Structure 1
Amino acid sequence: MNTAAQVLAVVIAVMLAAVWLMESFCYRDRRLYPLFLLERSDFAAVRLWIVNLGFYNFTTAVALALGVVLARTGHVPQGEALVAFTAGQHVFLALVLLATERRLWVNTLLEGVPTAVLLALVLS
């Protein structure tokens, strides 16, 4: 796995860790209402899903970081496979997000474009 792919994987992992914090711990913050299309009255109904989604993003961040660590410590095929799978998964999830809620198109771009570039870098 080349250096550009490793750097991008780490950057995406950091972004996903930030999303984990927002979704799992800060989703009640008014500044995040537009990001999640939430209102104060929604908190009780969405808590289970948004916190779970946050931790899902955290485990994805860990998988990307672990893939880079594996690649850098001599386990290149395993690291590349982990990073490629994780990137491909997020490209797919970005498309699902766009199909299910077009108002979140910016979120779709933020999730899908970097991971599509990462996937291309890993597979090239």
Structure 2
Amino acid sequence: MSTAAQVLAIVIAVMLTAVFVMESILYRHPKLYPLFLTKPTDFDAVRLWTVNLGWYNLTTAAALVIGVVLAANGHESAGNALVTFTAAQHTFLAVVLVVSERRLWFNALLEGIPAAVLLILML
């Protein structure tokens, strides 16, 4: 795995960890209403998906870090597979996000562009 791919994988992991905090802990904060297309009356209805998506993003961040660590410590095939799968997954999920809700196009770009670049670096 190239140094550029390792660095980008870690950057994406940090981004996903920040998203975890926003989705699972801070989703009720007024500054995040536009990001999630929510309003205070939605909180009870969206709590389940925001918290679950947050933890999903945190475990995905962990997969990227573990992949980099594996690749750097003699398990390159396993590390590369983990990072490549995760990059492909988030590239695909960015497309799903924008197709399912066009107003979230910026969120989809933030998710998809780094993941697509990482995927290209891995292939």
User: Shorter-chain-normalised TM-score: which range?
Assistant: over 0.9
What is the deviation of 1:98?
0.6
What is the deviation of 1:100?
0.4
What is the deviation of 1:37?
0.2
Give the structure 2 partner of residue 102 of structure 1: 102
Give the structure 1 partner of residue 12 of structure 2: 12
Unaligned stretches of 5+ residues in structure 1: none
What is the deviation of 1:88?
0.2
Q: Which amino acid aligns with 1:5?
A: A
Q: Distance in 2 between matches of 1:122 and 1:93?
A: 18
- CA deviations over 1:50-91 (Å, ceiling 9, x no partner): 100000000000000000000000100100000000000000
Identity across the alignment (%): 67
Q: Is 1:77 aligned to 2:47, yes or no?
A: no
- CA deviations over 1:77-121 (Å, ceiling 9, x no partner): 100000000000000000000100000000000000000000000
Equivalences for residues 21-40 of structure 1 within 5 A: 21-40=21-40
Q: Distance in 2 between matches of 1:45 and 1:111?
A: 24
SS at match of 1:26: coil
- CA deviations over 1:17-76 (Å, ceiling 9, x no partner): 000000000000000000000000000001011100000000000000000000000100
Q: Distance in 2 between matches of 1:72 and 1:78?
A: 11
Q: Distance in 2 between matches of 1:103 and 1:51?
A: 21
Q: Is 1:119 aligned to 2:119, yes or no?
A: yes
Give the structure 2 partner of residue 61 of structure 1: 61
Q: Distance in 2 between matches of 1:108 and 1:22?
A: 16
SS at match of 2:6: helix
Question: So what's the TM-score if we normalise by structure 1?
Answer: 0.99
> Paired residues, what number?
123
Q: Is 1:46 aligned to 2:52, yes or no?
A: no
4+ residue runs of structure 1 moved beyond 3 angstroms?
none
